[in-house]
A = this chain, B = another copy of it.
């Protein structure tokens, strides 16, 4: 039997396994789901063993665990590849916006609906299934394979750097492929040449000791919620320009070639707005929407908290107000320098009558840019061309996968995104889904990638 026949025959079981995997609510951001993340790790280790991988182990970090496994019998003359993915998921709130419950996945319209279906449970299962198909049908693989799956990607992988540093030998590989990644569209492949970095921070402003009566104290003392609004309005102008002193200092200007590569990819702004539901595309003047999304640094407020948030009126002057902020960074910005610039800017522009605390949250990533002509990228591009019958687009994108920079730093290898999600699949939002045809096509693509790497070796 060919490995393709094996994949066809086992597909119903694979879909059932994906549903079983999604049922584990492995939300890494929520302390109450700690045990579920661990349960997902155990599930992954067992699934790797069932696929024929060896040495499957759940390994501890200071936070959520890592799962490693390998199959190293292709011979010393063949390359060793490391496959990365993550088994943790984003929080599913607000639950009431889901058509069907996030952790009770459903198959509907050729799609699997549930939290993590696309990001990244469906994605990280794909290489395991391709690996199993070749091993079970052929008895061996043409490349040595290492698996490396983490449980804290959605909180920025805070414990991965020391783990990777300590386990560099176990993870050592000639090439790295990330099963957490996007294709352009169901009929259009993509080779991703860069990802943004990330810095996460929190601003807390405090006024009175406790919440005060707005009638007795309003007008007498500063209002921390209003002061927070003034501070945030000072960070970014309505036109999208970041106003923080020094924010753009380390940004490499886009070259004419960079801009031309982006412009070559078809873009329909009306369709983009219809997809997101936003009334208009807005951002930094002088750059196209695509350039801003893919190749310019951003500053977003992720959350606001202050005072009374229930129904109706509570006439309170709140004691404090908090904002969560993340910036996406481009080469050669550094998360620590950008954090320091924002902190200094906030403290220098603080309205009177409040005190400020600006703290960096866990989760950081350096921007990641592949060197031109990178070998693994060329091989991945060829496989995608075969599988899709179309030339892949080549560009950078706006997401961040911090572990890619960590792997580069400790293993000296640039990872390649080789994933089969799409950006319309409600990643990080209600009604996340994964396309079953992409799930199947991804398995073929990974099978062909293993073959191509084996013959290239």
- Interface residues of chain A, those whose CB is within 8 Å of chain B, are 29-31, 90-91, 97, 155-156, 196, 198, 200, 207-223, 225-236, 238-240, 272-273, 276-284, 289, 292-293, 296-319, 321-324, 326, 328, 351-355, 361-363, 397-400, 423, 426-431
Closest to A277 in B: B209
Cross-chain contact B428 with A211 (CB below 8 angstroms) = yes
A400 proximity list for chain B (CB < 8 A): 215, 315
Of residues A218, A310, A328, A399, which shows the largest number of chain B Cβ atoms within 10 Å of its Cβ? A218
Closest to A398 in B: B215
Cross-chain contact A399 with B328 (CB below 8 angstroms) = no
Cross-chain contact B321 with A280 (CB below 8 angstroms) = no
Contact partner, A278, options B213, B322, B353, Cβ 8 Å: B353
Cross-chain contact B233 with A238 (CB below 8 angstroms) = no
Cross-chain contact A29 with B276 (CB below 8 angstroms) = no
How far, in Å, is A262 (CB) from chain B's closest CB?
Answer: 13
Contact partner, A217, options B223, B303, B311, B398, Cβ 8 Å: B398
> Please, how many angstroms separate the alpha-carbon atoms of A326 and B278 in the complex?
29
Closest to A213 in B: B428
> Please, how many angstroms separate the alpha-carbon atoms of A44 and B399 in the complex?
60
Known interface pairs A209-B277, A213-B428, A218-B398; 11 further A-B residue pairs with C-beta atoms within 8 A, sorted by A's residue number: A29-B311, A198-B315, A211-B429, A217-B278, A219-B298, A219-B398, A225-B301, A225-B323, A226-B235, A230-B238, A304-B304
A322 proximity list for chain B (CB < 8 A): 309
Cross-chain contact B214 with A196 (CB below 8 angstroms) = no
Of residues A225, A226, A352, A363, which shows the largest number of chain B Cβ atoms within 10 Å of its Cβ? A226
Cross-chain contact A307 with B301 (CB below 8 angstroms) = yes
> Please, how many angstroms separate the alpha-carbon atoms of A315 and B315 in the complex?
31
A284 proximity list for chain B (CB < 8 A): 219
Closest to A272 in B: B220
How far, in Å, is A28 (CB) from chain B's closest CB?
Answer: 9
A233-B236 CB under 8 A given contacts A29-B312, A214-B326, A278-B222: no
Cross-chain contact A301 with B215 (CB below 8 angstroms) = no
Cross-chain contact B277 with A316 (CB below 8 angstroms) = no
Cross-chain contact B354 with A279 (CB below 8 angstroms) = yes
Cross-chain contact B312 with A363 (CB below 8 angstroms) = yes
Closest to A428 in B: B213
Cross-chain contact B220 with A292 (CB below 8 angstroms) = yes
How far, in Å, is A99 (CB) from chain B's closest CB?
Answer: 12
Closest to A201 in B: B313
A326-B352 CB under 8 A given contacts A300-B226, A307-B304, A429-B210: no
28 A-B interface contacts by CB (under 8 A) = A97-B210, A198-B215, A200-B313, A207-B279, A208-B276, A209-B276, A210-B277, A210-B426, A210-B430, A212-B428, A213-B427, A214-B302, A217-B398, A219-B296, A219-B297, A219-B298, A219-B328, A221-B278, A221-B280, A226-B232, A226-B235, A228-B229, A229-B232, A233-B233, A233-B234, A279-B354, A282-B351, A300-B317
Cross-chain contact A29 with B314 (CB below 8 angstroms) = yes
Of residues A90, A297, A300, which shows the largest number of chain B Cβ atoms within 10 Å of its Cβ? A300
Cross-chain contact A313 with B29 (CB below 8 angstroms) = yes
A428 proximity list for chain B (CB < 8 A): 211-213, 314-316
A213-B429 CB under 8 A given contacts A219-B240, A221-B276, A316-B302: yes
